[in-house]
Amino acid sequence: MSKKYKEFKNPNYAEIGEEILSFWKANGIFEASVNQREGQPTFTFYEGPPSANGTPGIHHVMARTVKDIFCRYKTLKGFQVKRKGGWDTHGLPVELQVEKELGITKEDIGKKITVEEYNQKCREAVMKFKQQWDDLTEQMGYWVDLKDPYITFENSYVETLWFLLKELFDKGLLYKGYTVQPYSPAAGTGLSSHELNQPGTYKMLKDTSIIAQFKVKHSERSAFLFEETSEPVYILAWTTTPWTLPSNCALAVGEKIRYVKVKSFNPYTFEPISVVLAKDLVGKYFSEKAAELPLSDYKAGDKLIPWKITQEFSGKDLLEIRYEQLMPYVTNADLENNAFRVIPGDFVTTEDGTGIVHTASVFGADDFRVAKEAGVPAVMVLDENGKETPLVDKQGRFVKEVSDFALRFVKEEYYSDAERNDPEFKPTDVLIAIKLKQENKAFKVEKYEHSYPHCWRTDKPVLYYPLDSWFIKTTAMKDRLVELNKSINWKPESTGTGRFGNWLENLVDWNLSRSRFWGTPLPIWVSEDGEQKCIGSLMQLKAEIEKSVKAGIMKGNEVDMNHLDLHRPYVDRIILVSDSGKPMNREPDLVDVWFDSGAMPYAQWGLDQEKLARGEKNPFNADFNGAFPADFIAEGVDQTRGWFFTLHALSVMLHDKVAFKNVIANGLVLDKNGNKMSKRLGNAIDPFKTIREFGPDATRWYMIENANPWDNLKFNLDGVQEVQRRFFGTLLNTYSFFALYANLDGFEMQENKTIAVKDRPELDRWILSKLQILIKEVDESFANYDATRAARAIQDFVTDQLSNWYVRLSRKRFWRGNMNADKQAAYETLFECLSVTAQLMSPIAPFFGEWLYKNLHDAQSGQSGASLSVHLTHMVSARSEWIDESLNESMDMAQRISSLIHSLRKKHMIKVRQPLSRVLIPVLNEKTVASIKAVEDIILAEVNVKAIEYIDDTSGVLVKKIKPNFKKLGAQYGPRLKEIGAAISQFGQEDIKRMEKDQGYALTIGTDTFALTLEDVEIMSEDIPGWLVANDGPLTVALDITITDALREEGVARDLVNRIQNLRKDMGLEVQDKIKVSVARGESLIEAALQSNREYICRETQALQLNLVDSLNDGNTIEMDDLQVVLKIEL
């Protein structure tokens, strides 16, 4: 005896989730899904480590669903898919959180709290929400190994990072340079962008602004500016930081901006000049009133200075023009050769200034970038150690080489209030302005008020200043990075070619330095005169410490050699000895946290000390082999320049390989209105609540089905609900239907004793054919990392084909009579469909898929060969021999014809229960007839009609329609198509007939004749005169709505059946209960209907007796349209 299929009255999806979860746990299904594939080909997945110092949000469910789907799919396909989890633990967010908790600022570190204590706090804080993350992982069904995760702060992880850094160092890919960063001379420290974004740092400041005149040198390039010009030509550039003018090294112009040369006079020296500036800005500096004044009338000191535009050109024409250094305090051969020229600047606008930007590469971030791109050297001097330094020192004063202003602070705010209040005091900017005016180098000087960043510590203005930084020379490997990226399969493709590809093309070196406390320390020690040592392992560090102790530099008790923590402050206490015997201190910076995560393919395994000692090339623990590179990774698109880049960069630089072969960059999860979710705005969706309410499957399914993962998702709980109702509800109903009747009939699926598919009815063969097509499509979609297409295909199959067509039309087969071949075929077919659906959906909806699979297979006795879990199965492959294209076409036709007939019934207000005698279907070829005949029974049953009659051409009653085949005609006749199309549309029935008879038509338009063939047009039947017809493309259907007495009686009988069934249901009878029906005499039509359809009524209602009686006292009165009847049902 078979076991029962579980039946459910009100299933709760969240409970299904919990039930399956405990099943997985109890049986170790996840572990088994990995272990059972031991020895099979591996599929490598890298988990991008989340940071557990914040709570997980709904977007994490999205990202992790994507990851989970493909790991589960590949497992189904027979691969072994290990998924090592990980935690990202270093970085600024952790520091900020700790500072907030302790109520301290960075300033306090080392004062109120030691670095040691601070870092200890960070270590604790970073795992603060680990439990929530673990809960989410479990509840959403994300399978990842959290028992043995990699943790980026662990010594073995950091040690591996050091090893990799040393590799880069040894390859010459790690170097010290500088970047231009916000710097506070008053505080003597650089400021992070985070610090700069603190409220209140930007304040209005009144600065002296100068438009300086840069004198153009004569050359071939500049010759055009001197045609018909004898006076000197100057380029005008504006600055609000005059103190940077001695450091000017280039002028930047917009290549597309229009510029003009204006002939006029200097307002301070009154000398005749010609100046170059953006055309749009001429009005700003030259008075409209003076435009008409003749230049020759000008006298020194005139208020109105005449001017005249003498030339116009684009920025491109100005490029490479050289000019005389404006304030030549410092120069050298390199500068003379490569600086003081016009370069392109993408940031140049004509909003203010002159449309030409003064560039001092060491004092501006944009300046630094464009100067570097154009190969312009910086204006620097050598300090006492022979090191290059800028013209402003770290205190914010000019160096002695800037003789006129030596040791003057560049910003007046750096002077004390007392000094500034001295009536004789003049800010440096003003002194510079005076000097330039005198030298005929200033065109305009004025006060300018603008927003300027201030140091939050000292409240003094910041400078943009070159600060030491360590870099990875990614530019050296740019070509390989670009080249190897082309072999990565990006989803979506555009992120790979566009966002990522373009970024690689415009790569700059990777700035590795971070001035922080909690992170991976830079393992580089430097002596005062620049000797460097990079440490690549704990082993090496210990050896170096011993050396240092021996040399008497370290005492040996500074650090605990047995438990050497590689974080600050411990590593800072280590002072090594250089080859020449000098003490070396560690470079104080930490490395960018992105290095941590980008190195996870190696660092997650840690170093194998023996391999390391032997000097092996990849001395990582053994698991590294076979787990590099990754087959698949997935993260948010915001990781493009983050994790995706660091993974790629390190892999290419260290191994000349890609780090991952396939990648999905998913989009953002927004709220339902398309706004970013944020806790502050209160529009964030709680993932736990969502899962509790709708279950994990509906949540996952919705996210995948609704839009491609790489598009932004407008997350709407109504949508989740819809998915739950429409898809899961329908699937559940279908299963419930199956379980109900299978249990009644004691059906058991016996895989080896099934009815051959070829012997099953059309409907079964059709749905199985559809199922095979579904398998193919789903498999292909998953293989192409397109889960959305897979989900939509499964959903369409379940709701449209399986439920709304197959089950609906098959219902009678299940509920009538005893077990027979047809019934068994129906059960077997539906079982197969449900079972396969369970498997196909399981990567996306792992709980429900499991639940469905188990419900189906748990009822099988013993030897079924079914797995304990759907996640341990191998994915079915499509059986092409079950695919029947012509049957698919037939059924498609059946669905369309049925729909047309329903529509006609509706128009004539004839309900489906009323049988009709026939439909007419015009057919123009035999193939269509055969196609419809194959599914004739299905159509007739569905629409309650007795017969289909096929009207072919020979009847002569068909009215036809002709349509030009635009595609074919367009290709052939091009411009004449319009006329030809119009002419064809004018064809009458005679023309169509003639064309069919002659297999063509000679169409004459004007004097031209076109030989049309039958392929140039589409001919279809449109109407049968005298009938009411409905059309759907080439299909036409006419319905005979004559209702004979017999049909009327049958209709009444059906109504009666329906009412009796309702009564049965109201009485709470079971499906299989037999009844006795008594009907009171009354309407003659009902009596007649009863007599002529007695057998039918009994069969349908499970009635053993059906009696007409004279009167019923305790019967039920029933209305059927305009008829009334009294009847009674007894057991």
Which listed residue (80, 640, 944, 1021) binds RNA by CB under 7 A? 640
Amino acid symbol at 437: K
Active-site residue, from 133, 143, 594, 710: 594
Q: Examine residue 940 and tell whether it contacts RNA (CB under 7 A).
A: no
Q: Which of 56, 67, 68, 88 does the annotation list as catalytic? A: 88
Residue 359 neighbours by CB under 8 Å, 6+ apart: 248, 249, 250, 251, 252, 343, 345, 367, 370, 371, 376
How far apart are the C-alpha atoms of 47 and 36, rounded to whole Å? Answer: 21
Contact between 1070 and RNA per CB under 7 A: yes
Q: Which of 24, 490, 643, 851 is catalytic?
A: 643
Report DSSP state, residue 524. Answer: E
- Catalytic residue selected from 676, 812, 911, 927: 676
Least distance (Å) from RNA to the CB of residue 985?
Answer: 9
197 binds RNA per the rule CB under 7 A: no
CB of 1119 to RNA, least distance (A): 11
Interacting span for RNA (CB under 7 A) from 315-323, 471-479, 651-659, 808-816:
808-816
Strand-pair partners of 1032: 1035
Q: How far is the CB of 293 from RNA (least distance, A)?
A: 35
Q: Which of 243, 210, 205, 109 is nearest to 455 (CA)?
A: 205
- Smaller CB separation from RNA, 4 or 676: 676
Q: Binding to RNA by residue 100, rule CB under 7 A? A: no
Return the number of the residue (366 or 531) whose C-beta is nearest RNA. 366
Quick check: is 256 catalytic? no
- Of the pair 59, 67, the CB lying nearest RNA is at 59
Task: Give me the torsion for CA of 675, 676, 678, 683, rounded to 10°.
Answer: 30
Query: Which residue, 21 or 69, is less far from RNA as judged by CB?
Result: 69
Q: Is 197 exposed, middle or buried (0-12, 13-18, 19+ CB in 10 A)?
A: exposed
The answer to whether 10 contacts RNA (rule: CB under 7 A) is yes
Calpha distance 340→333 (Å, rounded): 12
- Could you say whether residue 1018 binds RNA (CB under 7 A)? no
**CA 364, chain centre distance (Å):** 35
954 CB contacts (<8 Å, ≥6 apart)? none
Task: For Cα atoms 139, 145, 149, give the angle at the middle one, nearest 5 degrees.
Answer: 115
Q: Which of residues 451-470 bind RNA (CB under 7 A)?
A: none
Stretch that binds RNA, among 18-26, 44-52, 106-114, 719-727 (CB under 7 A): 719-727
Nearest residue (CB) to RNA, 337 versus 502: 502
Q: Which of 181, 730, 801, 1021 binds RNA (CB under 7 A)?
A: 730
Residue 326 vs 370, nearer CB to RNA: 370
Residue type, 952: D
Residues 339-368 that bind RNA (CB under 7 A): 346-347, 349, 365-366
Q: Quick one: which of 299, 303, 228, 220 has its CA closest to 261?
A: 228
Nearest alpha-carbon partner for 201 in 454, 413, 450:
454
Provide the minimum distance between the beta carbon of 913 and RNA in the complex, in angstroms, as a whole number: 5
By CB under 7 A, is residue 1069 in contact with RNA?
Answer: yes
**Which one, 515 or 804, has the nearer CB to RNA?**
804
Q: Per CB under 7 A, does 736 bind RNA? A: yes
Note whether 737 and 814 are within 8 A (CB): yes
Catalytic residue check, 199: no
Q: Which of 44, 160, 803, 839 binds RNA (CB under 7 A)?
A: 803
Question: For residue 326, which of 348, 302, 359 has the smallest C-alpha distance?
Answer: 359
Query: Residue 502 Cβ, how far from RNA at the closest point, in Å?
Result: 4
Cα separation, 1088 vs 407, whole angstroms? 120
Query: What are the tokens at 700?
Result: 């996952």
C-alpha dist (Å) from residue 493 to 254, 480, 647, 661: 32, 19, 18, 13
Determine contact, residues 166/536, Cβ cutoff 8 Å: yes
Phi, psi of 1003 (to 5 degrees): -90, 125
Task: Give the pairing of strands 532-534 and 524-527.
Answer: antiparallel
The contact mask relative to RNA for 369-398 (x = CB under 7 A, - = no) is x-----------------------------
Rounded distance between C-alpha atoms, residue 704 and residue 202, angstroms: 43
Binding RNA by CB under 7 A: which of 406, 543, 681, 1071? 1071
Q: How far is the CB of 71 from RNA (least distance, A)?
A: 24
Catalytic residue, chosen from 311, 604, 639, 795, is 639
Query: What's 858's DSSP letter?
Result: H
| Smallest gap from residue 323 Cβ to RNA (A) | 25
Of 3, 486, 808, 1099, the residue at the interface with RNA (CB under 7 A) is 808
Identify whether 400 is a catalytic site residue. Answer: no
Please pick, from the candidates 734, 829, 1021, 1036, the single residue that binds RNA as defined by CB under 7 A: 734
State the number of binding residues for RNA (CB under 7 A): 76
C-alpha dist (Å) from residue 553 to 523, 550, 580, 886: 18, 8, 13, 89
Return the residues of window 684-713 that contact RNA according to CB under 7 A: 706-708, 711-713
Q: Which is nearer to RNA, 382 or 982 (CB)?
A: 982
Does residue 315 belong to the site contacting RNA (CB under 7 A)? no
420 binds RNA (CB under 7 A): no
Residues 885-924 that bind RNA (CB under 7 A): 899, 902-903, 906, 911-913
Shortest CB 503 distance to RNA, Å: 7
Q: Is 967 in the site for RNA (CB under 7 A)?
A: yes
Contacting residue, 100, 689, 1065, 1074, with RNA by CB under 7 A: 1065
Q: Residue 546 to residues 63, 158, 551, 552: CA-CA distances in angstroms?
A: 48, 21, 9, 10
Closest distance of CB 442 from RNA, Å: 28
Of 597, 466, 588, give the one whose Cα is nearest residue 109: 588
Residue 346 beta carbon to RNA: minimum distance, rounded to whole angstroms: 5
Q: In a 3-state reduction of DSSP, which class is residue 648?
A: helix
Extract long-range pairs of 22-30: CB within 8 Å, 24+ residues apart: 23/850, 23/854, 23/869, 24/850, 24/869, 27/868, 27/869, 29/868, 29/869, 29/871, 29/872, 30/143, 30/871
- Catalytic (active site) residue 479: no
Q: Is 639 a catalytic residue?
A: yes
Using CB under 7 A, pick the residue from 637, 653, 664, 1012 that binds RNA.
637
Of 460 and 976, the one with the shorter C-beta distance to RNA is 976
Q: Pick the catalytic residue: 25, 206, 289, 679?
A: 679
Of 119 and 1102, which has the nearer Cβ to RNA? 1102
Establish whether 679 is an annotated binding residue. yes
Q: With CA atoms as reference, report the closest residue to 480 among 660, 658, 643, 664.
A: 658
**Which whole-number Å values give the CA distances from 246 to 329, 366, 428, 465, 956, in the listed order?**
7, 18, 12, 15, 99
Catalytic residue flag (residue 88): yes
CB of 136 to RNA, least distance (A): 22
CA distance 771 to 884: 11
Q: Could you say which residues in the range 971-1010 bind RNA, by CB under 7 A?
A: 971, 974-975, 977-978, 981
- Which of 1013, 1005, 1089 lies closest to 1044, judged by CA? 1089
User: Which one, of 814, 441, 484, 533, lies nearest residue 649 by Cα?
Assistant: 484
Is 972 assigned a catalytic role? no
Three-class DSSP labels, 320-372: CCEECCCCCCCCCHHHHHHCCEEEECCCCCCCCCCCEEEECHHHCHHHHHHHH
Q: Which is nearer to RNA, 627 or 1075 (CB)?
A: 1075
Among 312, 638, 1008, 1015, binds RNA (CB under 7 A): 638
Please report whether residue 314 would count as binding RNA according to CB under 7 A. Answer: no
Residue 301 CB coordination number (10 Å): 7
Between 724 and 931, CB nearer to RNA: 724
Contact flag: residue 1102 with RNA (CB under 7 A):
yes
Annotated binding site: 679
Annotated binding site for ATP: 679
Active site residues: 49, 88, 594, 639, 643, 676, 679
